[in-house]
């Protein structure tokens, strides 16, 4: 099976190397020459974006839905160039509405589609231990099962095209909320004289635990490592997508709206590790951005 990986950032690059280690024929590409050169130095075969070879699977790891649409419909022209029957797998965190429209166009062009957003960060991509949420046809999943098993410790089929991205947005909303609520819980305990580590041990033995309390706080926050590989800007983008998806469905979700606002008024720059959103709660003397308008930050 030949795989072309489009987007060689921390996630795409590591997934490409993992697939190569698993025995697949892998070619990578990226619009940034620096990314291509970096992966070439690590032994990956790379090509320019306008010279994509024929493949069985085209795996996309891109920042936004706009980038995914561009690769499929214009710049790389997968709709025109990809061999009939090949599979486009979008591992990006994308807009579900855009994904469903793209899936229709992909199928009409004689190709197959699978949205497969991932969690687990660069480390999970490098070790083949990602979590994947799949939206698409069961027959397509069966075709690419060897690829999924090489990349993921677990993958879950959640519905038709676009469903993977819906659930991924719901997941990231919960993660964003848990970072805020867990930080506040620890701040409460600390003010009462309980050490953060002791508080976490207690939370993780009870019903208030989450991946944030079990992983993020000990690994990246209390350690001051802040090197998860996922940025504040990307989380803000995902939260806006979740908010817009709710609005499109006629849902008024007050807590989601407040979480979006809180993330956009936090002082952390978009380039910062996303776990830095807890800084102002843990260290309340640090400044926050004045919430003039949400659109100013967007």
Residues of the chain within CATH 3.40.50.720 domain(s) are 2-160
Question: Is the CB of residue 55 less than 8 Å from the CB of residue 38?
Answer: no
Global confidence as pTM:
0.90
Helix or strand holding residue 45 (H, E): strand 45-46
Whole-number pLDDT of residue 287? 53
Distance CA 59, CA 5 (A): 5
Report the alpha-carbon distance of residue 281 to residue 195 in Å, rounded: 15
CATH number of 2-160: 3.40.50.12780, 3.40.50.300, 1.10.150.120, 3.40.50.720? 3.40.50.720
Percentage with pLDDT > 90 across the chain: 92
Block residue for tokens 């992983």: 215
Give me the residue label for tokens 């649409």.
69
Topology of 166-297 in CATH?
1.10.1040
How does pLDDT run across 46-62, given as a tens digit for each residue? 999 989 999 999 999 99
In which residue ranges of the chain is CATH 1.10.1040.10 found?
166-297
Task: Give the pLDDT band of residue 129 (cuts 50, 70, 90).
Answer: very high
Distance CA 24, CA 147 (A): 9
- Known catalytic membership, residue 168: yes
Rounded Cα–Cα distance for residues 218 and 232 (Å)? 19
pLDDT at 292: 43
pLDDT of 88 above 90: yes
CA distance 71 to 8: 14
Catalytic residue among 84, 168, 219, 237: 168
């Amino acid at each position: 099976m030949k795989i072309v990986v489009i987007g060689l950032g921390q996630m795409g690059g590591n997934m490409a190397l993992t697939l190569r280690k698993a025995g697949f024929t892998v070619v990578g590409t990226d619009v940034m020459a620096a990314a291509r050169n970096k992966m070439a130095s690590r032994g990956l075969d790379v090509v320019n974006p306008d010279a994509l070879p024929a493949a069985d699977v085209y795996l996309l790891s891109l920042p936004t839905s706009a980038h995914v649409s561009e690769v499929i419909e214009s710049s790389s022209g997968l709709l025109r160039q990809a061999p009939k029957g090949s599979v486009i797998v979008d591992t990006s965190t994308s807009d579900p509405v855009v994904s469903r429209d793209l899936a229709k166009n992909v199928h009409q062009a004689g190709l197959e589609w699978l949205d497969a957003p991932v969690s687990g960060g660069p480390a999970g991509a490098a070790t083949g231990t990602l979590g994947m949420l799949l939206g698409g046809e069961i027959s397509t999943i069966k075709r690419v099962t060897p690829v999924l098993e090489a990349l993921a410790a677990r993958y879950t089929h959640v519905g038709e095209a676009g469903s993977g991205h819906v659930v991924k947005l719901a997941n990231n909303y919960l993660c964003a909320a848990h970072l805020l609520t867990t930080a506040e819980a620890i701040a409460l305990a600390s003010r009462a004289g309980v050490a953060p580590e002791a508080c976490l041990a207690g939370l993780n033995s009870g019903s208030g635990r989450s991946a944030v309390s079990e992983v993020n706080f000990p690994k990246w926050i209390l350690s001051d490592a802040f090197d998860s590989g996922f940025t504040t800007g990307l989380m803000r983008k995902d939260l806006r997508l979740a908010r817009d998806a709710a609005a499109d469905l006629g849902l008024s979700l007050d807590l989601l709206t407040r979480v979006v606002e809180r993330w956009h008024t936090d002082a952390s720059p978009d380039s910062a590790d996303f776990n830095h959103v807890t800084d102002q709660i843990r260290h309340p003397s640090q400044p926050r951005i004045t919430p003039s308008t949400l659109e100013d930050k967007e």
